[in-house]
Amino acid sequence: MADLTITPANVVAGTNAVRDIGTAGETITAGKVVYFDAATNKWKLSDNNATGTRTVHGIALNGASLNQPVSVAKHGDITIGATLVAGTAYYLSATAGGICPVADLATGMDSILIGLAKSTTVLAIDVQDSGVTL
């Protein structure tokens, strides 16, 4: 399998989504997984194989370049703009900002759950970091 192929224009927060707004610390595309970097006070792409970025705080709802505003869904439902398999757990991938199914986790990656697919289009965001490196 592979990372989800997300169409940024189709990323939409559900009515129950908990959101945050801030400043992008790099170029971010809608649908990418992000974390809040307290050192710079900016949102950056999460990455499962890079030091210091193996954390998740949400999914970007809009695209933004460096120092532009970005909205982030931190919890709740999101139409992710990709085809999901209902009932499947999705995790942070080794691609910056990427989302992958559990089958794609490999040795050296952290097991960080992004959420569960409620349907073929809706992801229920419920970030859980197991603290386990495979």
**What CATH number did the domain enclosing 70 receive?**
2.40.300
| Domain that residue 31 falls in | 8-133
pLDDT tens for each residue of 40-86: 999 999 998 877 788 899 999 999 999 999 999 999 999 999 999 99
pLDDT tens for each residue of 99-116: 999 888 888 888 999 999
Q: Residue 87 domain-assigned?
A: yes
Residue reference for tokens 């970030």: 127
Domain tally for the chain? 1
